[in-house]
Structure 1
Amino acid sequence: MTITIRDEELILAKERAIFLPNEQLLAISDLHLGKAAHFRKAGLQVPSTLAQSDLNRLSNLLSQYQPETLLINGDMFHHDLNTDIDEFERWKEQYSNLKFVLVKGNHDKLHEKQYENLGIEIHEPSYCTPNFCFIHDAVKCTEENLYPISGHIHPGVSVYGKAKQSLKFPCFYFGNDYAVIPAFSAFTGLSLIKPRANEQVYAVTPTKVVKV
Structure 2
Amino acid sequence: MSLPSPLPSLAARAESGAESLVTSLAIEVAGRPLWLCPERAAFEPLTRSLLIADVHFGKAATFRAAGIAVPDGTTGDNLARIDQLIARHAPQRIVFLGDLLHARPAQAASIVAALSAWRARHPTLELILVRGNHDMHAGSPAAQLRIEEVDEPWRLGGWTLCHHPGTVAGEYVLAGHEHPTFHLRGAGDALRLPCFRFGAALGVLPAFGDFTGGYPSDVRHDQVYVVAGERVIAVDRRHTGRSNPRARQRSPMPRE
Q: What TM bracket, shorter-length normalisation?
A: over 0.9
Please say if 1:96 is aligned against 2:123. Answer: yes
Letter in 2 for 1:156: T
Shift of 1:209: 0.4
Which is worse superposed, 38-47 or 146-155? 38-47
Tell me what 1:20 maps to. 44
Q: Which runs of 5+ in 2 are unaligned?
A: 1-24, 236-256
Shift of 1:176: 2.4
Residues 1-212 of structure 1: matches in 2 within 5 Å? 1-80=25-104, 81-82=107-108, 83-109=110-136, 110-112=138-140, 114-139=141-166, 143-161=168-186, 163-197=187-221, 199-212=222-235
TM-score (norm 1): 0.92
Give the greater-gyration-radius structure (CA): 2
CA RMSD for the aligned pairs?
1.5
What are the Cα deviations for residues 19-75 of structure 1, in whole angstroms up to 9, with x where unaligned? 011011000100000111111111121212111111101111111100001010000
In structure 1, what is the Cα distance between the partners aligned to 2:60 and 2:113? 13
Shift of 1:207: 2.2
Shift of 1:115: 4.8
What percentage of aligned pairs have identical amino acids? 33
More helix by share: 2
TM-score (norm 2): 0.77
Letter in 1 for 2:122: Y
In structure 2, what is the Cα distance between the partners aligned to 1:166 and 1:20? 32
In structure 2, what is the Cα distance between the partners aligned to 1:115 and 1:3? 35
Q: Secondary structure at the match of 2:54?
A: coil
Equivalent pair of 2:112/2:142 in contact (CA under 8 Å): no
In structure 2, what is the Cα distance between the partners aligned to 1:155 and 1:67? 25
In structure 1, what is the Cα distance between the partners aligned to 2:184 and 2:191? 5
In structure 2, what is the Cα distance between the partners aligned to 1:130 and 1:64? 21
Q: Secondary structure at the match of 1:167?
A: strand
Q: Which runs of 5+ in 1 are unaligned?
A: none
In structure 2, what is the Cα distance between the partners aligned to 1:94 and 1:130? 27
Equivalent pair of 2:183/2:192 in contact (CA under 8 Å): yes
In structure 2, what is the Cα distance between the partners aligned to 1:66 and 1:211? 25
Which is worse superposed, 2-11 or 81-90? 81-90
In structure 1, what is the Cα distance between the partners aligned to 2:118 and 2:144? 14
What are the Cα deviations for residues 110-153 of structure 1, in whole angstroms up to 9, with x where unaligned? 545x55442000110222123211100023x5x42220111001
